[in-house]
Amino acid sequence: MSKPLQIARLDANQADFGSHLDALLAWESVSDKSVNERVEEIIQAVRQRGDAAVVEYTARFDGLSVDSMDDLILDRARLELALERITADQRQALEVAAERVRSYHEKQRQDSWRYTEPSGTVLGQQITPLDRAGLYVPGGKASYPSSVLMNAVPAKVAGVPEVVMMVPTPRGEINELVLAAACLAGVDRVFTVGGAQAVAALAYGTESVPRVDKIVGPGNIYVATAKRAVFGQVGIDMIAGPSEILVVCDGQTDPDWIAMDLFSQAEHDEDAQSILLSPDAAFLDAVEASLNRLLGELERSDIVRTSLETRGALIKVDSLEQACEVSNRIAPEHLELSVADPEALLPLIRHAGAIFMGRFTPEALGDYCAGPNHVLPTSGTARFSSPLGVYDFQKRSSVIFCSPDGASDLARTASVLARGESLTAHARSAEYRIKN
Ligand SMILES: NC(=O)c1ccc[n+]([C@@H]2O[C@H](COP(=O)([O-])OP(=O)(O)OC[C@H]3O[C@@H](n4cnc5c(N)ncnc54)[C@H](O)[C@@H]3O)[C@@H](O)[C@H]2O)c1
Ligand SMILES: N[C@H](CO)Cc1c[nH]c[nH+]1
Ligand SMILES: [Zn+2]
Ligand nearest to the CA of 264: 3
The answer on 23 and 139 residing in a single domain is no
The answer on 246 and 229 residing in a single domain is no
The answer on 213 and 82 residing in a single domain is yes
The answer on 72 and 217 residing in a single domain is yes
Q: Please pick, among 176, 267, 288, 334, the residue that the annotation labels catalytic.
A: 334
Asked if pLDDT for residue 36 goes beyond 70, the answer is yes
Domain that holds residue 171: 33-236
- Beta-bridged to residue 231, according to DSSP, are 234
The answer on 213 and 124 residing in a single domain is yes
What mean pLDDT do residues 331-345 have? Answer: 98
**Distance between CA atoms of residues 64 and 149, nearest Å:** 26
The answer on 363 and 231 residing in a single domain is no
Q: How many Å lie between the centroid of ligand 3 and the Cα of residue 311?
A: 16
Question: Any catalytic annotation for residue 334?
Answer: yes
Asked if pLDDT for residue 33 goes beyond 80, the answer is no
Region for 205 from its dihedrals, namely left if φ exceeds 0, alpha if ψ lies in -120 to 50, beta otherwise: left
**Distance between CA atoms of residues 1 and 305, nearest Å:** 14
> Is 351 known as a binding-site position?
no
Neighbours of 148 (CB within 10 A): 29
Per DSSP bridges, beta strands 354-357 and 334-338 are parallel
In this predicted model, what pLDDT tens digit does every residue of 43-85 receive, in sequence order? Answer: 999 999 999 999 999 999 999 989 899 999 999 999 999 999 9
Neighbours of 413 (CB within 10 A): 10
Do 291 and 264 touch, CB atoms closer than 8 A? no
Question: Any catalytic annotation for residue 105?
Answer: no
Helix (H, G, I), strand (E, B) or coil at 222: helix
In this predicted model, what pLDDT tens digit does every residue of 257-275 receive, in sequence order? Answer: 999 999 999 999 999 999 9
Asked if pLDDT for residue 28 goes beyond 90, the answer is no
Nearest alpha carbon, ligand 1 atom 14 = 140
Ligand 2 atom closest to Cα of residue 265: 1
pTM: 0.94
In this predicted model, what pLDDT tens digit does every residue of 127-161 receive, in sequence order? Answer: 999 999 999 999 988 899 999 999 999 999 999 99
pLDDT band at 26 (very low <50, low <70, confident <90, very high): confident
Do 220 and 249 touch, CB atoms closer than 8 A? no
The answer on 224 and 153 residing in a single domain is yes
Do 345 and 328 touch, CB atoms closer than 8 A? no
In this predicted model, what pLDDT tens digit does every residue of 341-350 receive, in sequence order? Answer: 999 999 999 9
Instruction: Find the helix packing angle between 33-49 and 51-62, rounded to 10°.
Output: 140
Task: Give the model's pLDDT for residue 52.
Answer: 97
Which residues surround ligand 1 with Cβ inside 6 Å? 38, 61-62, 138-142, 144, 147, 168, 194-196, 218-220, 222-223, 240, 242-243, 268-269, 271-272, 374-376, 378
**Distance between CA atoms of residues 265 and 267, nearest Å:** 5
Q: Please pick, among 267, 333, 336, 363, the residue that the annotation labels catalytic.
A: 333
Phi, psi dihedral angles at 278 (to 5 degrees): -150, 145
Q: How many structural domains comprise the chain? A: 3
Task: Give the model's pLDDT for residue 1.
Answer: 61
Helix (H, G, I), strand (E, B) or coil at 164: strand
The answer on 110 and 180 residing in a single domain is yes
Nearest to 5 by CA among 253, 302, 299: 302
What mean pLDDT do residues 178-189 have? Answer: 97
The answer on 39 and 23 residing in a single domain is no
Phi, psi dihedral angles at 165 (to 5 degrees): -120, 140
